[in-house]
Structure 1
Amino acid sequence: MPVIKILPHPEFCPQGASLSAPAGTSICEALLDNDIAIEHACDMSCACTTCHVIVREGFNSLNEMEEGEEDLLDRAWGLEPNSRLSCQAILAQQDLVVEIPKYSINHARENH
């Protein structure tokens, strides 16, 4: 089972975390299953950017990005070349290092 190392995030995991998840699981599911409450406003349907993560190591082991995810990522806060929507990024057998950005754009939560 691949290991996901989560870098420290002030809200979701202040000390950072290390967790295992089976290949075929999305990064978002793995985080939620391990009590890291990453935002996922669209219930993992690839309709928002609240679950945006930056994959610091292991990016190329993930499934290929589909066009819908690419289009949405253009709207994500703090976009980097190795950004993914965690609900769409499916684990393979390789370990990952993941950073949850400091901010996300969640219009429902922000009362827009």
Structure 2
Amino acid sequence: MPTVTVLPHAELCPEGQQFEVRKGASLCEALLKNGVAIEHACDMVAACATCHVYVRAGASTVDEPDDEENDELDNAWGLEPSSRLACCVHLKDGDITIELPKHSRNHARERN
């Protein structure tokens, strides 16, 4: 099973986190299931760029972004070459390390 490592983020994951997920799982769904409250304003259909993450290691273990993801990534805050939409990343056999951006384009984040 692939391992997801989340680097520390002041608000969403202060200590960082590491967890295993089943092969084929959506990165966004795996983060939410493991207590990382990543934004996903469009309900994970690649239409909002609020689930933007940076893949710091393991990018070669997931598929390349398709045209739809690349188009929506243009709307992400702090875009980098390692940027991906977590709703579009599906884990395969390899491990992945991600960093959550400091800001999201979702200005009206709901708090629990």
Amino acid at match of 2:10: P
SS of residue paired to 1:12:
coil
When structure 1 is superposed on structure 2, of 60-69 and 2-11 the one drifting more is 60-69
Consecutive aligned runs of 4 or more in structure 1 exceeding 3 Å deviation: 107-110
When structure 1 is superposed on structure 2, of 101-110 and 3-12 the one drifting more is 101-110
Q: Which residue of 1 aligns with 2:60?
A: 60
Paired with 1:46 and 1:55, the residues of 2 have a C-alpha distance of 17
Q: What RMSD in Å do the two structures reach over aligned CA positions?
A: 1.3
Identity fraction in percent:
55
Q: Which residue of 2 aligns with 1:33?
A: 33
Amino acid at match of 2:35: D
Equivalent residue pairs, number:
110
Structure 1 residue 23: Cα displacement: 1.1
Amino acid at match of 2:101: P
Structure 1 residue 107: Cα displacement: 4.3
What TM-score, normalized to structure 1? 0.93
Amino acid at match of 2:27: I
What TM-score, normalized to structure 2? 0.93
Amino acid at match of 1:8: P
Gapped regions of structure 1 (runs ≥ 5): none
Amino acid at match of 2:20: S
Paired with 1:94 and 1:61, the residues of 2 have a C-alpha distance of 5
Q: Which residue of 2 aligns with 1:48?
A: 48
Query: 1:46-66 CA deviation, whole Å, 9 max, x = no partner?
Result: 110110000000011112211
Structure 1 residue 109: Cα displacement: 3.6
